[in-house]
Amino acid sequence: SPEAYAAAWRTLKDVDCVLVPGGFGDRGIKGMILAARYARVNKIPYFGICLGMQISVIEIARNVLGWEDANSTEFEDTTPHPVVIFMPEGSETHLGGTMRLGSRKTLLQSQDCLTAKLYHNSKHIDERHRHRYEVNPKVVSNLEECGLKFVGRDENGDRMEILELADHPFYVGVQFHPEFKSRPGKPSPLFLGFILAALGRLDQYLRSYQNGN
């Protein structure tokens, strides 16, 4: 439907920020990838949660690295460029209770990254997880060569937990679910940063905190 297609693009171009949340299955994935690319190219604040982080990896692999057929094995198990894969210790036949669940420690790789600043210079954070797929560690070096930085990893350094994109007002993807611990009176640091970036007030907030206010 050309009319619906045009209306969808008008809606996207009118937003102040883009959030791609968690989810399962391939419904809507092509649109999510297009939205992630639009946010990246046009410097629109982007926040990807769980699936949303994986979407950003697929998009950058396709459009920056030039791997046009890059995909998650959740959507295409025969893709020649599996940038997102099923967790090696998971079970593809017994799905009940086999997800990576609960609070897990994420080690921040640098105190200069945006996430560390939003978490008030913490060296590690504890956030809750709920996923079966993860970024393929074999392609991390390729992705980082094009500006994507995995600033948070698990305690073994093998699982990618947080990504950021350089030279962007707010481009963050997380494998965990910060909404699980976010509260009206105590929002998740990443949600707070995301909304502040959409309002154009993130830099002001970070400077204020650094000055002790």
**Cα distance between residue 153 and residue 124, in whole Å:** 9
Look up 17 and say whether it is catalytic: no
Task: Look at residue 14 and tell me whether its pLDDT is greater than 80.
Answer: yes
Residue 132, number of CB atoms within 10 A of its CB = 16
| Mean pLDDT for the chain overall | 90
Give the CATH class of 16-211: alpha beta
The active-site residue, picked from 81, 129, 131, 177, is: 177
The active-site residue, picked from 3, 17, 50, 74, is: 50
Kindly report, residue by residue over 122-181, the tens digit of the pLDDT: 898 888 777 788 999 999 999 999 899 999 999 888 899 999 998 999 999 999 989 988
**Cα distance between residue 72 and residue 78, in whole Å:** 9
**Which structure tokens are listed for 68?**
């046009």
Q: Are 118 and 149 in contact (CB under 8 A)?
A: no
Check: pTM over 0.75? Answer yes or no. Answer: yes
